Amino acid sequence: MCGSKSVTIVVSATAASPFPPTISDGTSVGSTEEGDENLTTNVGSGYTVVIKMAGDISSINNVYSTNGVNLFSSGPARQSDGSWSGVIGALPKGTVETYSIDYTVGGNTYIQDPKIMINS
């Protein structure tokens, strides 16, 4: 899509410190479970959101809504490189989704719950 916008969220953890992970969207960084509430990625309708793994994370297993509001009109779905990608739907400004990212480090699965908010 010509002119489309994209936001990349990077989830990183090490084998020595698998939880909580560090989550960055290029603007904000969250690294504590309590920080989930403080890490809100701002997007607009039609944005593509890409969630990538870093550090010792061997896989992102799932990305899903936890509060019943699905901001995505498409996806999120696993990509061939192990990242997840979805397109934000046409929703009113101020709509917020709490979502979970299930990821694996050293054979153990962990869950982190940041937010996405429509800002335009």
The one-letter amino acid code at 109 reads T
In angstroms, rounded to a whole number, what is the distance separating the alpha carbons of residues 113 and 102?
9
CATH class of 6-118: mainly beta
pLDDT classification of 1: cutoffs 50, 70, 90: very low
Handedness of CA 52, 56, 58, 59 (dihedral sign): negative
Token pair recorded at residue 107: 């054979």
Q: Which of 36, 78, 86 is nearest to 61 (CA)?
A: 78
Global confidence as pTM: 0.90
Domain extents for the chain?
6-118
Using CA atoms, how far apart are residues 117 and 101, in angstroms rounded to an integer?
16
Least Cα distance to 48 among 19, 13, 20, 6 occurs for 6
- Which residue, among 115, 46, 50, has the nearest Cα to 76 in the 3D structure? 50
Residue 20 above 50 pLDDT? yes
Segment 49-60 shows an average pLDDT of: 97
- The rounded distance, in Å, linking the Cα atoms of 4 and 8 is 13
Considering the chain, what percentage of its residues have pLDDT values greater than 90?
Answer: 65
- pLDDT of res. 40: 87
